Structure 1
Amino acid sequence: MAEIKLACDCGKVQGHAHDMDAIKGNRLTCCCSDCQAFAYYLMNLGRGNNPTILDQYSGTDIFQMPISKLTIDQGVEEITCMRLSEKGMNRWYTKCCNTPIGNTLGGNMPFIGVVHNFMRHQTSRVGEIGQNRAYVQTHEIKKQIPTALKGSSSKAILRSISKLISWKLRGFHRPSVFFTQEGNSIVTPIIKHKSEIMQNIKTN
């Protein structure tokens, strides 16, 4: 199993994903409008010449893994969070250089979808976490995905659900660098509604 290095673009935030590989996690590409809005939100904050978040099909390459298997070794104070609604998914990123970290559910859920920008693979992405299993939530894509790349979204989603249940039963929601023992977020999430983000994109 691989120990995958994690780091933001400027290097202030660094950590590791422990004991992870293609079997223990779930790699997929999400094309939902929320993931697109998060990417645009970070672009609006300013990412300079840093690598793009979205691919040519408006998708975000994500590795789903147990939250307890992710540790931050330095730069925790640079981590912040936003939501697209008051009860939306927690979307974590770094204040220092606006690098996306990953998406989580509530504080008692054992899940984080780590965004590809936060992973620093020593060999290759495929070698460490496997091939992309599928593009999911493709109803709002801007460019048609070739059949050979698309994969089975239903199988990928079912795998996500089964992993989530297994991780919960095994207590993989603790410890978490993002939530306290009581399940509270370590920072107060910024609320930025999707409509506002997308309107800014249209007017720029």
Structure 2
Amino acid sequence: MAEVRLKCSCGIVQGVAHDISPNSGTRLVCYCDDCQAFARFLKREDVTDAHGGTDIFQTTHSRIQITDGAEQLRCLKLRPKGLFRWYTECCKTPIANTVSSGVPFVGMIHNFMDDDGVRDSVLGPVRGYIQGKFAKETLPAKWRGARFPLRIVMRSLCKLLAWKVQGLHKPSPFFDASGNPVGKLCILDSDVNRPQSPSA
């Protein structure tokens, strides 16, 4: 198990992800239109690859600790029932996606990982590519296929159930003891493919 340093682009928000290894979570690349809309909202399309994919590591709330700049945390929902999408107010660095305070799932986004070039060895290889139909360009054949490959779904569900039993949704850097987001929440009513960008 390793610790991965976390840091936003400007360095105001910092933290650490504890007990991280290829077996402690699931690394995947998501091409969904919502992830791409989130990057556009932040004016941070550098987050995505050439095809519009976002490199994500699925882990738990309890493994993530924000040590500096927590007051800069903000969250966005592209629709009322959508995911909580976390970012920093200071430099609009995307942090992670969460479902709720009670679900021990955090999709940590690669741009928030200050890994000194060792992310591949710590997180392991990408295990799957999902929602390829939303990719900007034709994907290589090995990345195409089901929206959610069965082996990825089963792996994620098994881990989610185990994490829930272990109570790994607490403590959370994203929700307070009452289950409310710690940062200001914005819910967009506009088309998710044309969201408005936050002010600088």
Fold shared by both chains (TM-score > 0.5): yes
Q: Which has the higher helix share?
A: 1
Note if contact 1:39-1:54 (Cα within 8 Å) is conserved in structure 2. yes
Task: Tell me the equivalent position of 1:42.
Answer: 42
Q: Which residue of 2 aligns with 1:86?
A: 80
The structure 1 segments of at least 4 consecutive aligned residues displaced by more than 2 Å after TM superposition are 147-154
Which segment drifts farther, 133-142 or 25-34? 133-142
SS at match of 2:194: helix
Instruction: Using the aligned pairs only, state the percent identity.
Output: 42
1:1-204 equivalences under 5 Å are 1-43=1-43, 47=44, 52-149=46-143, 153-193=149-189, 195=191, 198=194
> Which secondary structure does the structure 2 equivalent of 1:190 belong to?
strand
The CA distance in 2 between the partners of 1:140 and 1:194, in whole Å, is 19
Cα deviation, residue 76, structure 1: 0.1
Secondary structure of the 1:62 match is strand
- Report the CA distance shift for 1:194/1:94 in structure 2 as closer, same or farther (over 3 A): same
TM-score, normalised to structure 2, is: 0.91
CA distance in 2, matches of 1:42, 1:74: 21
2-structure distance, mates of 1:190, 1:166: 31
The structural deviation recorded for 1:89 is: 0.5
Unaligned runs of 5+ in 1: none
For residues 83 and 133 of structure 1, do their structure 2 counterparts lie closer, same or farther at Cα, with a shift above 3 Å needed? same
Q: In 2, distance between residues paired with 1:98 and 1:188?
A: 14
Distance 1:194 1:33 in 2: 14
Gaps of 5+ in 2: none
2: CA distance, partners of 1:194 / 1:124: 39
Q: Secondary structure at the match of 2:177?
A: coil
Q: How many residues align?
A: 195
Scaled by the length of structure 1, what TM-score is found?
0.89
